A and B are shown apart, each in its own frame.
Chain A
Amino acid sequence: MSKLGQVVEAVEKYNQFVLDQVKRARTDEKFGRELINRWNETKEKTPVTHTPTGLPLPRLALPEIDEPGEIARYLFGEGLPGEFPFLNGAYREMYLEPTRGIELSSYGKKISTNGPKEKPTGDDERPPEEPTRLFSGLMLAEDTNERFHYLTQHQRTHRLSTAFDGPTLYGIDSDADGVSGKIGEGGVAIDTVEDMVRLYDGFDLGSPNFSASMTISGPAPIIMAMYIAAAKRRFGSKVVSKLRGTIQADIFKEVQAQNETIFPIEASLRFLTDMVEFTTREMPRWYPISISGYHIGEAGSTPVQQAAYTLSNGFAYAEMFAGRGIPVDQFGPRLSFFLDCGLDAEYIALARVSRRIWAIGMRDAYGAGPRGQLFKLHTQTSGRSLIAAEFKNNLTRTAAELILAYMNATNSCHSNSADEPFTTPSEEWIRLAAHGQAILLEESGIFKHTMNMLSGSPGMKAVERAVEAAILEEFREIERLGGVLAAVEDRFQRSQIQNAAHRYEQQIYDGTRPIIGLNRYRNGTDDIPEVKLARTPRAKQQLQIDRLAKFKKKNAGKAKRALDKLVDVVERGENCFPALLDAVEVSSLGQITDHLQEVVGRFRPMV
């Protein structure tokens, strides 16, 4: 049995354990009393907050139960927010406004002064930060840098999410044959460490209030090395251990869905593991992988497939890292997740269930400690759900998806711009997307007063049960195929996703899946709006090519030595990340990719 089979068993066993606890609470009087006491204590300790209209509300909402069996079902089956198995949230409090004007009593009963000030489970103490993330990347490094400064001008914390252009995502240089029209399109063009310095210019990379997220997978280890090199150039080598951020680096989902793989699967996984081994040791605040269902969802999977493949990919990575000898409590807390949130009913609880399965699997099949059990989640609203026809409807779609994402207690969230079907979003629509989140979290009272505000409805419970059963069934299917890697090489996930995509298109076509403005209530005229497109001017593209030429000329001799050394290390099978750190100082992304491909080959696409 592969590890995934053990995860299935662990979840089944845990579910049985919950049932046993329920039974025991009802039969074992002492146990039942303990549960009731704990329950009452939790309620008593819960502070009360006041809404602007003066309505008192508890900061944590709990179900109205007083029978020991039901209490056991809640505490063991779901867990309080921040408690195993984390169904209701990875942390005790999320999205709540600062604790001003809080009455120190709970559920109507006065308690002592100074309410509980426990630290959130897991991470170190930091100023409260906005969960809002905005994805950006356009033209050249200095243009994206300017956009970053614009986006963060009112934010307490600077969380930059970086999109790269096509050539960068495929590990090739801006001077490569036939890519000139792609430079700076859909993301920022990065060829060298000098571009990386320009990209984050003016930001304090070592500050606790700064983090960089980089959406790139195929050449991720090279880009990671460039980021470290750029940080060292600006702040010295001591900054390395302070760097915060995330790099996507998810090879499995690239092969399954997004098609941005540049090395064969095994070589890609080896370079990834080299990087993870380095960063989890030297950069304890860095997330070296963002295990992503987003692109699986965007490629057309069902929500259940999205969650099942993402989780199983995550468990496969964990198995791989552990196999390299990295301790589970070193890499476990540095894994993060990224899911899509669309409008299908599954999204009411998809991330909640995922969090629970991850926690149980990591604890019981991998032996992870509490920090390694957390499913830390970034959500993005569905790009695929956005429609070009009557595109302003996309504001409503994204708003509904945002509510679902926060109902699932996501740790951070990106809201799409309504103009995304057309282009890289323009500032006007980005602003509206960001304001959508602010309206939901800051203006509305839905999430800011009470944790668990919308959790636990009978409908949500029904979705949770159905989704969990369906995810486990997907796991069993992958297990039958010999585990995640074997299934990936067999194109299993890929073809399942493609089948689901075809079904989805067919449903739109025959109207069984209503899309307002497209196949229902269509106004007859195509209203493709005047959208101002962010296109990279020719002169800028040429500037990037010229800079690259200058860099290559300047470093020609050194580059050869560094690249030879890199090739040598790769051939000997050692961890190549230190050699990559040296190579990026003097060679370009494309040069490094070419040399690595000489040794390990190129990725052969699956059709």
Chain B
Amino acid sequence: MASPIRILTAVPICDGHDSAINTINLEFIRHGIEVVYLGYHRSVSDIVRAAAQEDVRAIGISSYNGGHIEFFADVVRELRKQGAHDINVFGGGGGTITHDDAAIMARKGVDQIFFAGTSLSEMTDYVRKQYGKPRKKRTHAKNPDLVLARRLTEIEDRSGARRRSAITGDGSTSDRRKRTGRVIGFTGPGGAGKTTLIDELVLRFLNQDRHSRIAILSHDPSVIGQGALLGDRATMINSQTDRVFMRSMATRGQAGGLSPATHDCLAHLAQSNFDYVIIETVGTGQEAMPFQNDGIIDLTVLVMNPDYGSRLQLQKIVMLDLAEIVVVNKSDLQRARTAHSEIEQRLEQNRRGQKLIDTVAKRHRDPGVDRLFDLISADRTR
């Protein structure tokens, strides 16, 4: 069985009309498509960069604010400039894109425009039919990120095939000698604010060293029917730059917060000349211990929400024993003070010198995030 089709969807810059694309995204994932959603008000360069890094088959653009002829054409032009001829572009805009416009856009390299009244199933069928065939080898890639992105796709497809044919063993290629980047793992329950926290840390990494590059491996769960909505890019506003290589992965049926291909992808990224490699699990449960002791991850951060329930619940969270750093995010909530002292006590029992930090990641220039950043970057120089 082939791997799911991966596409990227977005709404153009200066356009906040996300109602249609939200509905369409849900329909796509229900039909087994993995959708990397970039959100609204997105520039051509953000879209092309994301499509290249995510190595999607196609980009779907939903435009309702005009300027679509130029915008779609710019996306196609920029893709070709980078050598990503094999990433296709389609889209729609209700009644705002006329048939005449669509004809011009087709001449400029856009595959398909869906007009008002197109049913969701027509769109889904189109994507599955047009973008479901195997791709040829890429020959023109000018951007090294494109090569890396395709390599990750190959690893992902291979792990999928292996899992499905029930071959066990991890086939790890981790080689510590070649390693360059420091690998930091973030995990924690859903809604704790991991994504926002990582994005705020990325901003600090980028400002600290003007030449550093960061890789992010972000996970979201696959739904029944194998589709997945990979939406972290939409909220990670600081991570949409050429200095960040971000890859969104679906769990593709594996429990525990990661994908079957995570280990190999991470090993590959760790050798790919990044200063930091950050991995974010899906929201995890109490029993989860997503990061194995396999020598790839240097530092583990558990991000908690102050609302974890009673003190007793804390005893059940396995990662509290394993993480080097525990973060209580949303520490502006009332419950946060109690949470801090309860977790502090719990960590003291471990006697492992684990660090506990309170943050409000949603706050610009949050001093707690500054402290976390200092801790992580100091750890690197050690």
B66 — which chain A residues lie within 8 A by C-beta? 166, 181-182, 185-186, 423-424, 535
User: Residue of A at shortest CB range from B66?
Assistant: A185
A59-67, A96-104, A171-179, A403-411 - interface stretch: A171-179
Which residues of chain B from 325 to 382 have a CB within 8 Å of any chain A CB? Answer: 362-365
Could you mark each residue 60-77 of chain B with 1 if its beta carbon is under 8 Å from any beta carbon of chain A, else 0? 000001111111001000
The answer to whether B169 has its CB under 8 Å from any CB of chain A is no
A223-231, A352-360, A497-505 - interface stretch: A497-505
Which residues of chain A from 247 to 266 have a CB within 8 Å of any chain B CB? Answer: 258-260, 264
Interface size on A, residues (CB 8 A): 49
The answer to whether A421 has its CB under 8 Å from any CB of chain B is yes
Contact B120 A509 (CB under 8 A): yes
The answer to whether B116 has its CB under 8 Å from any CB of chain A is yes
User: Residue of B at shortest CB range from A505?
Assistant: B23
The answer to whether B115 has its CB under 8 Å from any CB of chain A is yes
Contact A170 B41 (CB under 8 A): yes
Could you mark each residue 141-185 of chain A with 1 if its beta carbon is under 8 Å from any beta carbon of chain B, else 0? 000000000000000000000000111011010000111111001
The answer to whether A1 has its CB under 8 Å from any CB of chain B is no
Alpha-carbon separation in the docked complex, A170 to B67 (Å): 15
Contact B67 A181 (CB under 8 A): yes
Alpha-carbon separation in the docked complex, A424 to B95 (Å): 11
Contact B14 A299 (CB under 8 A): no
Identify which of B19, B65, B95 contacts A186 (C-beta below 8 A).
B65
Alpha-carbon separation in the docked complex, A170 to B43 (Å): 12
Identify which of A185, A300, A533 contacts B98 (C-beta below 8 A).
A533
Contact A531 B14 (CB under 8 A): no
The answer to whether A545 has its CB under 8 Å from any CB of chain B is no
Contact A388 B13 (CB under 8 A): no
Contact B14 A528 (CB under 8 A): no
- Tell me whether A389 and B116 are in contact in the complex, defined as CB-CB below 8 angstroms, given that A528-B99, A604-B237, A607-B39 are known contacts: yes
Contact B19 A264 (CB under 8 A): no
Identify which of A178, A528, A531 contacts B115 (C-beta below 8 A).
A528
Alpha-carbon separation in the docked complex, A502 to B96 (Å): 21
The answer to whether B117 has its CB under 8 Å from any CB of chain A is yes
Contact A178 B116 (CB under 8 A): no
Which residues of chain A from 385 to 410 have a CB within 8 Å of any chain B CB? Answer: 387-389, 391
User: Residue of B at shortest CB range from A295?
Assistant: B16
Contact A600 B364 (CB under 8 A): yes
B115 — which chain A residues lie within 8 A by C-beta? 388, 526, 528
**What's the nearest-Cβ distance from chain B to residue A567, in Å?**
13
**What's the nearest-Cβ distance from chain A to residue B373, in Å?**
15
**What's the nearest-Cβ distance from chain A to residue B114, in Å?**
12
Alpha-carbon separation in the docked complex, A502 to B40 (Å): 18
Alpha-carbon separation in the docked complex, A165 to B22 (Å): 23
User: Residue of B at shortest CB range from A501?
Assistant: B19
**What's the nearest-Cβ distance from chain B to residue A500, in Å?**
11
A531 — which chain B residues lie within 8 A by C-beta? 98
Contact A605 B235 (CB under 8 A): yes
The answer to whether B28 has its CB under 8 Å from any CB of chain A is no
**What's the nearest-Cβ distance from chain A to residue B22, in Å?**
6
The answer to whether B18 has its CB under 8 Å from any CB of chain A is yes
The answer to whether B165 has its CB under 8 Å from any CB of chain A is no
Contact B98 A422 (CB under 8 A): yes
- Tell me whether A422 and B67 are in contact in the complex, defined as CB-CB below 8 angstroms, given that A259-B40, A389-B117 are known contacts: no
A167 — which chain B residues lie within 8 A by C-beta? 14
Alpha-carbon separation in the docked complex, A170 to B44 (Å): 16
The answer to whether B141 has its CB under 8 Å from any CB of chain A is no
**Interface residue range, chain B:** 35 or more
B120 — which chain A residues lie within 8 A by C-beta? 509
A258 — which chain B residues lie within 8 A by C-beta? 16
Contact B364 A259 (CB under 8 A): no
The answer to whether B90 has its CB under 8 Å from any CB of chain A is no
Contact B235 A169 (CB under 8 A): no
Contact B116 A181 (CB under 8 A): no
Could you mark each residue 26-45 of chain B with 1 if its beta carbon is under 8 Å from any beta carbon of chain A, else 0? 10000000000101110111
The answer to whether B83 has its CB under 8 Å from any CB of chain A is no
Alpha-carbon separation in the docked complex, A178 to B231 (Å): 23
Contact A601 B43 (CB under 8 A): no
Identify which of A166, A509, A606 contacts B119 (C-beta below 8 A).
A509
A421 — which chain B residues lie within 8 A by C-beta? 94-96, 116
**What's the nearest-Cβ distance from chain B to residue A114, in Å?**
55
User: Residue of B at shortest CB range from A601?
Assistant: B364
B223 — which chain A residues lie within 8 A by C-beta? none
**What's the nearest-Cβ distance from chain B to residue A417, in Å?**
12
Alpha-carbon separation in the docked complex, A299 to B16 (Å): 10
Contact A498 B22 (CB under 8 A): yes
The answer to whether B300 has its CB under 8 Å from any CB of chain A is no
Alpha-carbon separation in the docked complex, A502 to B45 (Å): 30
**What's the nearest-Cβ distance from chain B to residue A572, in Å?**
15
User: Residue of B at shortest CB range from A169?
Assistant: B14
Contact B41 A259 (CB under 8 A): yes
Q: Of A424, A489, A526, A604, which is in contact with the most chain B CB atoms at under 10 Å from its CB?
A: A604
The answer to whether A518 has its CB under 8 Å from any CB of chain B is yes
**What's the nearest-Cβ distance from chain B to residue A220, in Å?**
15
Could you mark each residue 261-292 of chain A with 1 if its beta carbon is under 8 Å from any beta carbon of chain B, else 0? 00010010000000000000000000000000
Alpha-carbon separation in the docked complex, A389 to B365 (Å): 50
Contact A607 B99 (CB under 8 A): no
Alpha-carbon separation in the docked complex, A394 to B127 (Å): 32
**What's the nearest-Cβ distance from chain B to residue A316, in Å?**
18
Contact B43 A604 (CB under 8 A): no
**What's the nearest-Cβ distance from chain B to residue A191, in Å?**
13
The answer to whether A602 has its CB under 8 Å from any CB of chain B is yes
User: Residue of B at shortest CB range from A506?
Assistant: B23
The answer to whether B15 has its CB under 8 Å from any CB of chain A is yes
Alpha-carbon separation in the docked complex, A502 to B26 (Å): 10
**What's the nearest-Cβ distance from chain B to residue A255, in Å?**
11
The answer to whether B299 has its CB under 8 Å from any CB of chain A is no
B40 — which chain A residues lie within 8 A by C-beta? 259, 605
Contact A178 B44 (CB under 8 A): yes
B67 — which chain A residues lie within 8 A by C-beta? 166, 179, 181-182, 185
**What's the nearest-Cβ distance from chain A to residue B204, in Å?**
13
Contact A180 B70 (CB under 8 A): yes
Q: Of B22, B116, B199, B363, which is in contact with the most chain A CB atoms at under 10 Å from its CB?
A: B116
Identify which of B19, B71, B119, B364 contacts A498 (C-beta below 8 A).
B19
Contact B23 A178 (CB under 8 A): no
Could you mark each residue 109-137 of chain B with 1 if its beta carbon is under 8 Å from any beta carbon of chain A, else 0? 00000011101100000000000000000
A267 — which chain B residues lie within 8 A by C-beta? 364
A180 — which chain B residues lie within 8 A by C-beta? 70
Alpha-carbon separation in the docked complex, A172 to B65 (Å): 15
Identify which of A177, A264, A599, A607 contacts B231 (C-beta below 8 A).
A607
Contact A605 B23 (CB under 8 A): no
A502 — which chain B residues lie within 8 A by C-beta? 22-23, 26
**What's the nearest-Cβ distance from chain B to residue A406, in Å?**
28
Which residues of chain A from 564 to 607 have a CB within 8 Å of any chain B CB? Answer: 599-602, 604-607
User: Residue of B at shortest CB range from A167?
Assistant: B14
Contact A178 B43 (CB under 8 A): yes
Q: Of A165, A166, A177, A533, which is in contact with the most chain B CB atoms at under 10 Å from its CB?
A: A166
Which residues of chain A from 168 to 221 have a CB within 8 Å of any chain B CB? Answer: 169-170, 172, 177-182, 185-186
**What's the nearest-Cβ distance from chain A to residue B87, in Å?**
18
B365 — which chain A residues lie within 8 A by C-beta? 601
The answer to whether B288 has its CB under 8 Å from any CB of chain A is no
**What's the nearest-Cβ distance from chain A to residue B96, in Å?**
6
Extra contacts, 4 of them, besides A423-B66, A501-B23 (Cβ < 8 A), are A502-B22, A528-B115, A607-B231, A607-B235
Sample of 16 A–B contacts (CB below 8 Å): A170-B41, A178-B13, A181-B69, A182-B66, A259-B40, A260-B16, A267-B364, A300-B19, A423-B66, A424-B66, A505-B23, A509-B120, A528-B115, A604-B196, A604-B199, A607-B231
Binding site for A on B (CB under 8 A): 12-19, 22-23, 26, 37, 39-41, 43-45, 65-71, 74, 94-96, 98-99, 115-117, 119-120, 196, 199, 231, 234-235, 237, 362-365
7 cross-chain pairs, A with B, having the tightest CB-CB distances, nearest first: A166-B14, A259-B16, A601-B364, A181-B70, A185-B66, A181-B67, A421-B95
